[in-house]
Amino acid sequence: MISHLLFYGDNIINHLTCEVLAVLKLACADISINVIRQKAFSTCSAHLTVVVVFYRTILFTYGKPKSKDPLGADKQDFADKLISLSYGVVTPC
């Protein structure tokens, strides 16, 4: 939606990164609908990320095959610990 806005003259953004709201403030048009959709997208994307991380860990935990190789058991235990860490730490963060 930002690509369809008009910008005139030299524009300077006083930020380290090019955030969406900083770019929207430089536009020479009505940006009210862009601000509303940007807020909705940022809220929705955060929730969607948490859901994907949560269900990914559940899928890997309960959908993996049993390892019959004795050397594979150690690797499987390490993977279980990593998945548990992702489920217990990354999702709440």
φ/ψ bin of 49: left (φ > 0), alpha (ψ from -120 to 50), beta (otherwise):
alpha
pLDDT, tens digit, for every residue of 15-39?
A: 777 677 777 778 888 878 877 877 7
Which spans in 1-93 are helix H?
20-25, 32-62, 70-85
Residue 71: per-residue pLDDT = 56
pLDDT, tens digit, for every residue of 40-71?
A: 777 888 888 888 888 887 787 777 766 665 55
Quick one: pLDDT band at residue 74, thresholds 50, 70, 90? low
- Report which DSSP code applies to 1: -
Q: What is the spatial distance between Cα 20 and Cα 35, in angstroms, rounded to a whole number?
A: 9
Task: Answer yes or no: is pLDDT of 75 > 80.
Answer: no
Task: Answer yes or no: is pLDDT of 87 > 80.
Answer: no
Nearest CA among 44, 6, 47, 48 for reference residue 27: 6
- Measured CA distances, 34 to 8, 13, 22, 26 (Å): 18, 18, 12, 13
Amino acid at 57: T
